Chains A and B, each alone.
Chain A
Amino acid sequence: MLCESYLSYVLCGKKQNMAKTLFEKIWEQHIVKTIDDGPSVLYIDRHFIHEVTSPQAFTGLNKRGINVLRPLQTIATADHNVPTLNQHLPIKEELSRLQVETLKKNCAEHGIELYGLGHPFQGIVHVIGPELGITQPGMTIVCGDSHTSTHGAFGAIAFGIGTSEVEMVFASQCLLQSKPKLMRINVEGELNKGVVSKDIVLYILSKITASGATGYAVEFAGSAIRALSMEARMTICNMSIEMGGRCGLIAPDETTFAYIEGKEFAPQGEAWQKKLGEWKQLYSDRDALFDNEIFINAEDIEPMITYGTNPGMGIGVTENIPTTETINDNDRSGLAKSLAYMGLQQGAAIKGQKIDYVFIGSCTNSRIEDLRMVASFVKGKHKADDVEVWIVPGSKQVEAQAIKEGIDKIFEEAGFVLRQPGCSACLGMNEDKIPAGKYCISTSNRNFEGRQGAGARTLLASPLTAAAAAITGYVTDPRSLPSKGVLRTNPSAGGAFNS
């Protein structure tokens, strides 16, 4: 008897120690081997590539005289260098054209599927992976692009890598990786009206700073996260890199499965049932331990906007810009320099700041729900005269859907320009740049100096807050404009807008 209860104690104790986080479950399934006192050899399920960070990796392979080991697990698209107007014409800028052509040539040589310009699946790499059903729960996913964290919204370990690592994945379908520390950010409660998922992530960033999650894999959890649609979840995981996170992830649930089912490359029939069974095991066990845990109250979040030159420098749209006295320690030393670059004053209100450009797009906020949200909000309104508004869909599929739903007409009536898919003005690389000194309210992810063009001044915000600024011409609380309650039809897009 004693023996038995001792045994059950030991077993029970052991079982408790076996509690695992979502990250650990996926990580352990992908370890090929572990080097003593060193990194692990991590197997990679899906490798996305684009034209900017892949050419030198292909050159490396060619120098070694070897081929891509698993071309069928590699998916390519052209997004960073593509123009977003007149995509049927050759790319004007010679180096951009060469980079896109190099990708085409490399993919052909190595047997990699390329969704290039003109292909109905072309788009921003982090938009097309999920919408095609290539991104699935439990996978390891990499790309030579820091916003690969986006794919973590499906309960995958997804992270950005450098070009040397792109070459490693080409050559071996593996990477040497050290296991990161684990953080969980819990967002509990209901979002206020006018608050969407972009506001959640900008709020978290404003609290934990642009380096608050460096060295960590971040799991987002809590009732406010569970209530989000897949596209809204992607916005949050997308910006986990802005906290420094190695990756961001959310446990898959019925919302996830419903999103994937029926997508182009989603499993079907028996395979679907088998996968579904596996995916349902992907959650952090009740007793699983995290190195750091953060709790956020959803009710505390209001529409957010950044005032500085890193994504952690954000405030509520009704708040004043911090002063050296009120700012958190991490950003104090950079405040004066940031505000000098931005042409903004300590302690001033951000609301009412004049805007020159509005950019709604990027891998953070260019999906169909984002476009629907903006269209619902601006229907029957018109942009301010001296503001230029660019709406850039994340993919050809998003563009086609927007046109099918008549969203393009609403934008046209509002004076907005619906452009063609690409990274566009997010990064000051292609033709779409914000001129020096001009203010752009942007739904993208980075407000670094010069990010949208040398000297450009970026204010990051949600599609709703950006749309409100498009109408008035200055930073505006979206809750202060009439919206006829249209957004109630889509509450899962990260919050309802009930006027």
Chain B
Amino acid sequence: MSDKNLNTDTQKESSNLQTQEPPFGGQGGFISRFVPINMENIDTDQIIPARFLKATTKDGFGKNLFRDWRYYNDDASKTRADFPLNMSQFDGEILVAGKNFGCGSSREHAAWSILDYGFRVVVSSFFADIFKNNALNNGVLPVQVSDAFLQRIFLQDNNTELTVDLEQQTIRINPTGEQEQFEINSYKKTCLLNGYNDIDYLISLKEDIQEFETQRA
């Protein structure tokens, strides 16, 4: 069975709940400076430690993003001057990190904290699967680039702007013009461009799901 029209009709009908304002649909792409964290295997326990997962809402996780790398002794008044989030020269809505970003725990709180802090794009040369899904489900775009391109970004100065064009699936280092294509599954791309989400679509399949259950019984 297949559903060719999903990306247009079904979603439009069922989607009156748009969880995020889609920032990636505009002309010319998404332009921002970036914050580099040049470390590999950044796990979700670093992104948001477990002791901050006790909330029952999705709000307010940004202040604890990378909590134990940002502060000494869990004290928000003792900032670690050498951590990029604390360095005033870095700013922007794009986070750039080493390979295997988001490994470990499935906590969606990691994506919520990144979004709540103000990032809309994460660039890495490799993403852990669950984090990638969680990011996409929250309107945070994971952009997977080659190791070489990632190193090129890390070499740029702190005023450099990047352009992420979801429509064209490209990421560009603006001052140098270096550009790379990135992969994204076309369904997820359509969702992000239009602010659609999976749950509306799945709810619209109620009859198909019931039929499936009946056939298996």
Contacts and interface: CB of A to CB of B under 8 A. Distances in A.
Interface of A: 29, 31-39, 41, 43, 52-53, 55-56, 59-60, 64, 66, 69, 80-81, 93, 95-96, 98-99, 102, 144-146, 160-165, 167-168, 171-176, 178, 180, 210-211, 214-215, 241-242, 244, 246, 310, 330-331, 333-334, 337, 427-429, 436, 446, 448-451, 454-455
Contacts of B87: none
A59 B4 contact: no
A211 B54 contact: no
A282 to B, nearest CB: 16
A95 B6 contact: no
A32 B212 contact: yes
B105 interface: yes
8 contacts: A29-B216, A33-B205, A38-B188, A56-B57, A160-B106, A175-B198, A244-B103, A454-B74
B55 interface: yes
Contact of B198 (A176, A331, A446): A176
Contacts of A171: 199, 202-203
A69 B208 CA distance: 14
Contact of B46 (A172, A215, A449): A449
Given A172-B206, A215-B129, 16 more contacts: A52-B53, A55-B55, A55-B56, A80-B50, A99-B54, A145-B105, A160-B106, A161-B106, A167-B199, A172-B205, A173-B209, A178-B185, A244-B103, A427-B105, A446-B45, A455-B68
Nearest to A423: B50
Interface residues of B, number: 61
A162 B205 contact: no
B33 interface: no
B104 interface: yes
A448 B104 contact: yes
A176 B74 contact: no
B45 A451 contact: yes
Nearest to A330: B40
A38 B185 contact: yes
B80 interface: no
Contacts of B68: 449-450, 454-455
Given A35-B2, A446-B45, A429 B205 contact: no
A427 B104 CA distance: 11
Contact of A53 (B51, B100, B106): B106
A95 B50 contact: no
B54 A214 contact: no
Nearest to A99: B54
Contact of A37 (B43, B108, B138, B187): B187
Nearest 7 A/B pairs, CB to CB: A38-B187, A162-B108, A95-B54, A55-B56, A172-B202, A162-B134, A160-B106
Interface string B97-136: 0111001111111010000000000000010111001100
Interface in B188-217: 188, 197-199, 201-203, 205-206, 208-209, 212-213, 216
Interface string B137-180: 11000000000000000000000000000000000000000000
Contacts of A450: 45-46, 49, 68
A70 to B, nearest CB: 8
A364 to B, nearest CB: 14
A172 B39 CA distance: 38
Contacts of B209: 32, 41, 43, 69, 172-174
B77 interface: no
Given A81-B54, A98-B56, A172-B203, A214 B129 contact: yes
B198 A210 contact: no
A96 B209 CA distance: 36
B192 to A, nearest CB: 13
A244 B40 CA distance: 14
B40 A454 contact: no
A431 B182 CA distance: 43
